[in-house]
Structure formats: structure tokens, C-alpha cells
Amino acid sequence: MKKHLNTLLLLALSVTSLSSFANDKLPSGNRPQSPNGLKMISSFLIAANGNLADGNRVVFASQYSNAVDGYDAMKMTNPGENFGLWRDNKFLAVEARQPLAAGDTIYYRMSGTVNQIYELVITPSDLLDANVKGTLIDRYANTRTEISLTDTNRVSVGVNSDPDSKSPNRLMIVFSQSATLPIKFAGINAVNESNRSIAINWLVEDEAGIVNYEVERSADGVNFSKLNQVAPKYKNLQGGAYNYRDVSPLKSANFYRIKSFGADGKVTYSNIAKATIFQATTGITVYPNPVKGNTVKLQFNQANKGMYRIMVANSIGQVVHRSNLRVNDANYNHTLNMGNAITPGNYTVCVFDEAGTVSTQSLIIQ
């Protein structure tokens, strides 16, 4: 118990400690992790000039009580803005609670706000396994905003001359039961390689709640058996790219599919890919390759007309670019601008047609 009490005291030292945590965690915006591995929600009120006005934290663990006790840290009021927590008529800087569950509510308490548009930054940490969804309720603006428990949230909070906009109990987060989102397979292909192996590539979205994948193979496209097991890498709503190499493929045709297992016991299958039909279904070429900068050309040769979806993944499978394209001619050239965030390295360009068929090209950015 003493260890956890010391941890909470460190978390509640001052607005300076909150500012330091904010500066460390806010820029990343992707599955932040807390110090000491604590499950928590940290909330910051940012003034219009970008300075941190104040902040608070809620920490969740089985050894804590939902009542206000010695494990909670009382709020020391500031001469300016105050942004804390309200529980049992007590003003708190850090609240220690039981594990997050449906029916819980975080009650915020504000004071000393001035007329401006603040930014409310809500940063969850290590809450991926919480099977709940959070909704931020703004009583003054009469809005309900769904809060991600896997990524940093940023919401505008406008304060004006209306006294109700400065209401102390204007904001709160209500948690309710959340069903596990079904995984979304964005595409799969099987590529014959020069060393007689077959590379199976697949792309997933909405990966939260996935326990593992199985690569399955079939000789006829009907009867499949397990080839290998692959652990999930992303465990979030963005997902990413995966690959597996079949070094001993069947001498006849090889059909592949991916089987996913959810934490709720649900099993989902991808589409089926056949190694012999991959050969440039849409005849798409990426050039120049390597390329300097963030702009490349896509050349469609004898392509089917219609809508195409483009995704670019980096060397660790993270999707760094998504866009849509309409192809109106069988032979078509398109300039793809991937944005200034693209850095030098190895990438994979995936192009999906309306039927879900995917073509992949390796791309080197210098």
C-alpha cells in the first residue's frame, strides 16, 4: 500500500508536475503510457495562448476505494484557473478509484476561468483492456463527445460573458458498456517470390480486442488448416500491416486466409487470397523508386475503372497515408502526395480496387 500511496503523492505534487507530464505525453497522441504502469486518465485545461492552466488525474486500481480517503490528493487552489475533480463534496487533484467500469463518472470542477476558448486535453493511459466507452458531457454547450481510451483527446471549451459558461460543474465524463468492435480486414494478398516461397500480406483496421491471428492455407479454397499463429502488434483502432512467409507452399494452388480471435470469443475471417492470381491484377506501378521527397507517381495499366483506395505503410506496418482515387481510364497516371510527415525509409504502397483486390509495391523514400 505504501508504494501506491507514494506513487499518488508524486503524481499530485503540483501543477508543475502535471505540466511536465503533459509536455511528455501530449505530442505523441498515440496510446500513451503512464509512469509506473498505472491505469489513469489525465486531464489538462490549456489556455488560448497554449499555456497549461491546470490539470488533474484519476488513477484506477483494485486496491483503491471509490470513496474519498487518504489515497486521494486534495486540490490546492491556484490564484488563476482551477481544474480539478469533485467527489463527495471534496475538491481533488488526484482521485484514486476502483478499476474503470460501466456506470462510473468523472466529475470535473472548474473555477477562475476567463473569456476565451480553452482546449481540454484528456489523455488515457494503459486503459486498452477497459471494456467501456467514455462520453464527455458539456452541460453548457449541450454536447456529448465520445472519448477515446487509447489515444489523446482534444476538445474545445469556450468560456464567454454568459455566467453559465463558467459553471463549476459544466463538464463530466460518463462511462458505459462498450461491445468489442469487430475487426476490419482491409485487404490480403499472396505473392509468389523468386525463392519459391509465398509472402502473405494483410492489412487490418479496428484491431482493438484481438487476441491473435492464424494464417490458414488450403489446396482447394474450401478446406483450410492452420499454418501459423501471429500475435497482434497494434491492439488499437488504427491497426496496420502484417506479413508472413510460407517457405514450403503446396505444389498445387495455394489459397490463404487470416483467422482472427477476439477477446470476446468472436472469430472473424479475412477474404481468401490465391498466390497464382496476384500478378498485377490492376497493373499498377509506383515510380520513381527510390524517390526523394513525399511525391510519387502511380501508373495504372489496363486497370478496371472505378474507385480505388490507397494506403501506405512504413517498415513496421504503421499506416502513414490513406486516400481515395477514382480511375476513369484503363491507362491512368496519378500523382500521390503523402504529406510532410513522411520520413526517409522503406514503405509499402497498397492499392485496393472496388472488389477488395489489393496490389502492393515496395517504395524507398530517400
Domain co-membership, 142 together with 225: no
Domain co-membership, 192 together with 172: no
Task: Give 126-141 pLDDT, tens digit per residue.
Answer: 887 677 888 999 999 9
Once rounded to an integer, what is the mean pLDDT over residues 146-174? 93
**What is the number of helices (H) and of strands (E) in the chain?**
2, 26
User: Which has the minimum average pLDDT: 10-14, 138-142, 228-232, 263-267?
Assistant: 10-14
Domain co-membership, 168 together with 261: no
**Mean confidence (pLDDT) of the chain:** 81
Determine the Cα–Cα distance for residues 273 and 346; give it in Å rounded to an integer.
24
- What pLDDT shows up at residue 233? 84
- pLDDT higher than threshold 80 for residue 23: no
Q: Are 147 and 173 in contact (CB under 8 A)?
A: yes
- What pLDDT shows up at residue 236? 65
Entry pTM: 0.48
Task: Give 28-53 pLDDT, tens digit per residue.
Answer: 344 445 555 689 999 999 999 999 99
Domain co-membership, 253 together with 119: no
Domain with 299 in it: 284-365
Once rounded to an integer, what is the mean pLDDT over residues 268-280? 70
Instruction: Give φ, ψ of 361 to 5 degrees.
Output: -135, 135
CATH number of residue 234's parent domain: 2.60.40.10
- What pLDDT shows up at residue 93? 93
Percent residues over pLDDT 90 in the chain: 34
Task: Give 215-248 pLDDT, tens digit per residue.
Answer: 999 988 888 999 999 988 886 666 788 989 888 8
4: left (phi over 0), alpha (psi -120 to 50) or beta: alpha
Domain co-membership, 30 together with 161: yes
Domain co-membership, 116 together with 263: no
Q: Which residue, 130, 160, 177, sits at the end of a domain?
A: 177
Domain co-membership, 203 together with 271: yes
Domain co-membership, 151 together with 234: no
Q: Does residue 49 or residue 295 have the better pLDDT? A: 49
Domain co-membership, 74 together with 160: yes
Q: Which residue, 131, 147, 177, sits at the end of a domain?
A: 177
- Collapsing DSSP states into helix, strand and coil, what is residue 21? helix
CATH number of residue 341's parent domain: 2.60.40.1220
276 falls in which pLDDT band (50, 70, 90)?
Answer: low
Domain co-membership, 233 together with 346: no
Domain co-membership, 21 together with 112: yes
Domain co-membership, 101 together with 64: yes
Task: Give 71-120 pLDDT, tens digit per residue.
Answer: 999 998 889 999 999 999 999 999 999 999 888 999 999 999 999 999 99
- pLDDT higher than threshold 70 for residue 7: no
Q: Which residue, 161, 177, 193, sits at the end of a domain?
A: 177
Instruction: Report which DSSP code applies to 280.
Output: T
Structural domains in the chain (count): 3
